[in-house]
A and B are shown apart, each in its own frame.
Chain A
Amino acid sequence: MTTASRPAPPPIRTHKDGRNWVGKSIRRLEDPKFLRGRGGYIGDMTLPGMLHVAVLSSPYAHARITGINTDAALAAPGVHAVITGAQAAELTDPLPDFGPNPAAHTWRCLAVEKVRYVGEGVAVVVADSRYLAEDALALIDVEYEPLPPVVDPERALDEGAPLVHEDLGSNCAYERTFQFGEVDRDFADADVVITDRLRWRRSGGQPLETVGAIADFEVATGQLTVHTNSLSFTSYLFMVAGTLKIPANKLDIRPMPAGGSFGSKLFATKPAVIAAMCSRAVGRPVVYLEDRIDNISNCDHHGSDRVYDVQLALMRDGTMRSIKIDTVDDYGAYIQFGVGHHGNALAQVVGPYRIASVEYRVRAALTNKNQQGAYRGFGSEVNNWMLEQMVDKAARELGLDPVEIRRHNFIRDFPYFIPTGNVYDSGDYDGVLDKALKLAEYDHWRAEQVKAREEGRYIGIGLITAQERSVFSATEFWFWFDTPGAPVTSMPESVTLKVDATGGITATLYSCAFWGNSPETMVAQLVAEEFDCDPHDVSIVYQGSKNGLPATGPGGSRTTVMLAGAVEGATAKIKAKARRATGYMLEANPDDLEWVDGGYQVKGSPEARKTLAEIAVMLHLFKHSFPEDMESGLEESKVFDHPYTTMPSADRKDLGVFYPFMGHACHVPVIEVDIETGQVSFLSYAAVHDCGTLVNPRSLAGHIVGGTAQGIGTALYEEFVYDEEGQLLTSSYLDYLIPTAIEVPELKIGHHETPSPWTPHGIKGGGEGGRMMAPAAINVAVNDALAPLGVRLTELPMTPDRILAAIRAARESR
């Protein structure tokens, strides 16, 4: 092994019992303003003199731009500026891009010589209103010379395929085969090898609010202020400043609440760059807020789009030995995050199973489509689906029970290093499975299934057990290459806690925007736990990038764990100071004091006591009562670095620890397929999740249901369909089908709590789990239903068209 020099894990924590606030389903602090329609989203903000941008988008998948005439548009009423791609390329540098070799597939805010997908921006209009801006778009005359498009990812890799980026010389942006462990030996030892070819087609987050930015460039000072609902702004700030060719310290990015993200507002830098470019050009505040067409066709955030060829090696008794995964991922026209999505997959590539070795080949294909970005799961949900289809197929072919084959292979000793080098901190997969079987009434439904089959009905039960990684470290963005792009990255989050003179507590969050998660509620519950106050009395401030502390921003289910660490750290500092101050106030030795119910008191004599408010007022107003080295006030910050991340080995046979806090879930949907229409309907759906210690169980349950609803979309309804010419056929919600309340069943939710040994309170992240499980579970369920017909679906979404085609094919082959 090449992992010999792995650093020691962080110390094991002991978690306190009898928590007061962590674990309570309190009402969320965030909600009252939203309930009153006073959310203050980006679309709700107007600055004096603000102008509106609309983007002209390409009607072609692939074409050379041979001419643009903007004269008529410039002369249209209310128009202040028209900027073409060529002009934009002078005003701005390429957009932030983590892809391999970005210079060979340059990504800009507007297309320059060539358009590479339907919807790519070609020019922008700045006008008095969005109405007038759209009127002027129609007056821009663009001449295109259509080029042959490349749409299928495998054809894109063929010799002689039309090139999306000539500079790259091929459409393969990345290719590598990794081997973790003794793959050849394990395959040779295995009794059977199950193979399959699987296809996961692209869907996307599609939050109901689109992405937008308001930019206000102050000519006099060179200061640029950007208000945006795009997340992770402290991470991308300096890169956006680079794109705009301004000093980073002249850019202030201020977060706005986001009306949903699901990944799709992470690093959404293009709207901010467009708004800023336009504001600088016209000298006034400018808003660019995508409309739904922009957001569907030009959002840079379509989800994974993969073809898999997989081989799973097992013993006849179901013991899994090794897996070979070969995947082509259709990234679209650009590749902003590189193949980080596959890092996510590799964090939990073997699922909850003891699989000793893994071969992973990934090829990133570029095609004439909107590029991939982030969607809840970031590529790990696809791996879950792939692995569970393989396990399910293995059980069927080996004649094993689907529950038992899983149980037989479960990991039970923690911490557990998987072949890729990542660690699973803790887990109780049997406990989750047992709970799920009970909650789902599994045996009852198996009996129902037998009866239904006799009546000619097709009921299927989909049982899957899979992982939910949390708290990423950025190594997964660069371990793809032999020379590290960086040493191990810390990815911190920060919190400042301030106790005012009355004892009231304000928490300041950095790079932490709201997007439907509950950062305020989480932090308030954590603060209340530490200070024994009412969480609804805690005040929360979201800090913009100016005066911000180091922070990364949400993503990879990291927020709650990282904020918990920061709150814990800041609390410790505050309490240390308060303890010392109390010592002086009570003329007691600080070591003899204990924190009890919101104040410090002398151990054994509780009447000698000071509340936080009493301590705070002294520290704020009467500093001279304390020694020289104590400063006025009671305010402390903590920059909390990633608690456990390690370097990959030089040969990349071990990728190190990069996603250590491993959640787990078991989903059991029961479905019925109408074999005449291909309609899938739910009869029951149970889900048990283990995300470590719960902070607000109802919030987590809400995320599980919501994520599952999105997973149902991915499994059955949602797909961005491009035809052979690269035309996007699903450019409205009449064709891109988001599940309504009728398509989403009522879920039975169970929680299981296996604390992490390495995080405050034992919390693990849990925001993405529903969508990481549901597609796999529903696919297994559909195949279970249709097994008597000899039908097995291997492609998502399982539309009526695909289901009926498979049934017809099975009939014909009989």
Chain B
Amino acid sequence: MTKTLTIDGVTIPFEDGQTIIQAATAAGIYIPHLCHNPEFTPHGSCKLCTVKVNGRNCSACTFPAMDGQEVINNAKDLNADRQKITQMLFVEGNHFCPSCEKTGNCQLQAVAYHLNMLDDHFPLFYPHRELDASHEEILIDHNRCIFCTLCVRASHEQDGKDVFAISGRGINKHLIVNSETGLLKDTDISASDKAAHICPTGAILIKHTAYQVPIGKRIYDHQQIDQVTLNSESEHDK
């Protein structure tokens, strides 16, 4: 007999070893997320994917699916919290979308659209953060890093390197790269690495490609992130 759980009252099947988000994606249900990507070990840090499991808040990207769980996902209070968490990510960094190369292709921006975020809500931090333009083909703009560690995991798990890491504590967290000089050009990254293409925001960009796709013709200019994500991620899970 297949095991099942319910999400917002809909019964869905799952396999042992799946997390709640994997079971949901396979069943065509979108749970908002940023640090999760089915290709890599889950991290559980952004907290956008928080769902209520039998009344308790859990991260859907790390919490195992279990028989008979009652999961609440698309609820007003949860989405309100998700919106605030997204706003936190915006005010913590410097995100000036209209002048950002990634605009329209950015998952942070797209999640914000999806959650109907209309302002920053919180006071902006305006942190002082640097650019690392040392590499021929790849740019790091620390202003837009949300510490999801996808680049860290992609480099380690897929590229077999350790180009990126998150260092520091608390609000002083920052992305560092693995070279004696601390510059990207002195690491062993290459533009074909998965890590160079995984960033959900505009923090890691491939140079010289910025406006090849014009604004207005980009992914989230036409589609909502839930559809885009379900299409690509359920493909991966197969």
Same assembly: no
